[in-house]
Structure 1
Amino acid sequence: MSQEEQTIKLDQRDVLDAAMTAGHILLENGAEIFRVEETIDRICHHFGVQSENAFVLSNGIFLTSGDEHEKRFARVEHIPVRGAQLHRVAAVNQLSREIEEGKYTLPEIREKLEQIRNAPGASKRALVLMSGLGSGCFCLMFGGMWQDCVAAFVIGCLLYLYLLWLNGRCSKIVENIGGGIIITVCSLLFIHMPLGMDMSHMISGSIMPLVPGLAFTNGIRDIADGDYISGTVRMIDAVLVFLSVAAGVGCVLSIYHHLTGGVML
């Protein structure tokens, strides 16, 4: 193999590695399938890799290239379903547009992607506070009194502290069942204190941090775009979360109903 062929092979591989890294960051942080494929295509085509072919699922990327003019390349990455970090998705989107404008070389692109991958999200204190505020505001929107909103705020904060404590150490199903149990138990305690006025409003507001709205929406968008496998997987994942939370809430209410002889609040 001549020096020129070695250089072409190295450059092509670097381009595909950079494109794969960008796709990985997008997919693991909640981006839609079409967005991942489009970003990979943009990066490869800008650097002259025309034979690139990306096949993206909800938890994996298959990237190949090669024809009579370009060297063969194949790579597969498994990407577990995780929570959304939309600031990283937005950063990669912006980077891909700047790449098309010719603002970066390959080494600079790799450096930028590492910066985006390692970019810190919101602090734990801010996440707990936002969970509480979201719960309280949704409780108000659903018709709760100010006492219900205060209770939902506290429950939302406690819920996120529970999620941070688990930190992915158990399955998503167990995690969400536990979240539903915590929400319902706390709502019952606030009713008896009494701080809350309507337990249904407190529960409705407090479960919102657990609702996988982004996954459900992306699932619908993927199905609409013809990515039926990925869309179905995301929809099933969202439905499992809904059912798990409902199971946790229903379990506590059933026990309470049994212990109080049919009295429900």
Structure 2
Amino acid sequence: MEDRDLIFETVSLAGEILLASGAEISRVSDTMERIARAYGNPGLDTFILSNGVLLSTGGGSRSYRARVRHIPLGGGRLDRIDAVNQLSREIELGLHTPAEAHERLEAIRTMPSKPRWQQVLASGIGSGSFGYLFGGTGQDAAAAFLCGLVLYLYFLYLVRGHLSKIAMNISGGALVTLCALILTHLGLGSNLEMVTAGAVVPLLPGVAFTNGIRDIADEDYISGSVRLLDAVLVVACLALGVGAVMAAYTAWGV
């Protein structure tokens, strides 16, 4: 592969990894342009949306080359974003050839996520902590901790890859509410609202919501609106799941 083609592939791959990992649009575009300039290809043009990357280069005596990649909206992977950012800084310092940079990016793209047991434990700790911060007692925090564990066990081992995003969030909201009801009736936790509020926190799209606002602030209105809409949809699905269980609980007068 010629160096020019390899540079093009490297820049494209960096943008795809960042966008798939939940980076804001301005970061994706700036990183791609920095890498291109560092390798002597400042004429590269980028067009980034929340779910797609368009990259083109050429002109004059050089033939044009373009690439369009669809990147589905996904969860945040801050470890990959940090790794690509660090690599881009090293490229600007002249520490990597295009071939070396491309190899590093391939390794970053295949970086494994945290072990499942760590994700489950983090969900439990987050739920318990927020249950306490929201005003719950120690018992409420313990109940929220158990609900958070159950939630991620459900996500990681039962429904991932089998349900749509909407169905996952509705069922997840319903599950943590049902779990909170059971635990409070068993005496572990006395404040149902605090237990439920803490347990649902791992499902809230905080990174997507923040990046949506940042994209709009950077005048990337289309991408920001898409991300905000996605975040609002997730919250609405959670509310629907929680509300359905609460409504049934109230109607049955348990």
Normalised by the length of structure 2, the TM-score is 0.97
Question: What residue number does 2:144 align with?
Answer: 152
Structure 1 segments of 4 or more deviating over 2 A?
none
Structure 1: distance between partners of 2:62 and 2:217: 34
Please tell me whether the aligned partners of residues 43 and 99 of structure 1 are also in contact (alpha carbons under 8 angstroms). yes
Please tell me whether the aligned partners of residues 39 and 98 of structure 2 are also in contact (alpha carbons under 8 angstroms). no
2:121 match: secondary structure: helix
Question: What residue number does 1:186 align with?
Answer: 179
Please tell me whether the aligned partners of residues 41 and 52 of structure 1 are also in contact (alpha carbons under 8 angstroms). yes
Q: Say yes or no: does 1:48 pair with 2:40.
A: yes
Question: What residue number does 1:76 align with?
Answer: 68
Shift of 1:69: 4.2
Please tell me whether the aligned partners of residues 215 and 235 of structure 1 are also in contact (alpha carbons under 8 angstroms). yes
Structure 2: distance between partners of 1:250 and 1:225: 36
Q: Say yes or no: does 1:202 pair with 2:226.
A: no
Q: Percent identity over the alignment?
A: 48
Please tell me whether the aligned partners of residues 187 and 199 of structure 1 are also in contact (alpha carbons under 8 angstroms). yes
Structure 2: distance between partners of 1:44 and 1:191: 57
Out of 87, 111, 127, the position equivalent to 2:79 is: 87
Structure 2: distance between partners of 1:137 and 1:78: 37
- 1:171-226 C-alpha deviation (Å, 9 max, x unpaired): 11100000011011011101111111000000110000000000000000000000
Shift of 1:16: 1.0
In structure 2, give the amino acid aligned to 1:26: L
Normalised by the length of structure 1, the TM-score is 0.93
Q: Which has the larger radius of gyration?
A: 1
Structure 1: distance between partners of 2:23 and 2:161: 20
Structure 2: distance between partners of 1:169 and 1:97: 39
Out of 192, 198, 210, the position equivalent to 1:217 is: 210
Please tell me whether the aligned partners of residues 180 and 245 of structure 1 are also in contact (alpha carbons under 8 angstroms). yes
Q: Say yes or no: does 1:248 pair with 2:241.
A: yes
Q: Say yes or no: does 1:12 pair with 2:4.
A: yes
Q: Say yes or no: does 1:98 pair with 2:90.
A: yes
Out of 154, 157, 180, the position equivalent to 1:162 is: 154
Q: Say yes or no: does 1:231 pair with 2:232.
A: no
Q: Say yes or no: does 1:30 pair with 2:30.
A: no
Out of 150, 167, 176, the position equivalent to 1:174 is: 167
Structure 1: distance between partners of 2:29 and 2:8: 13
Shift of 1:71: 2.8
Structure 1: distance between partners of 2:190 and 2:61: 72
1:144 match: secondary structure: coil
Structure 1: distance between partners of 2:34 and 2:197: 43
- 1:92-134 C-alpha deviation (Å, 9 max, x unpaired): 0000010011000111111101111112221100110010000
In structure 2, give the amino acid aligned to 1:94: Q
Structure 1: distance between partners of 2:62 and 2:149: 54
Shift of 1:66: 1.3
Question: What residue number does 1:67 align with?
Answer: 59
Please tell me whether the aligned partners of residues 13 and 73 of structure 1 are also in contact (alpha carbons under 8 angstroms). no
Segments of 5+ residues of structure 1 without an aligned counterpart are 1-6
Structure 1: distance between partners of 2:127 and 2:27: 30
- Is 242-251 or 40-49 further displaced after alignment? 40-49
Structure 1: distance between partners of 2:117 and 2:168: 20
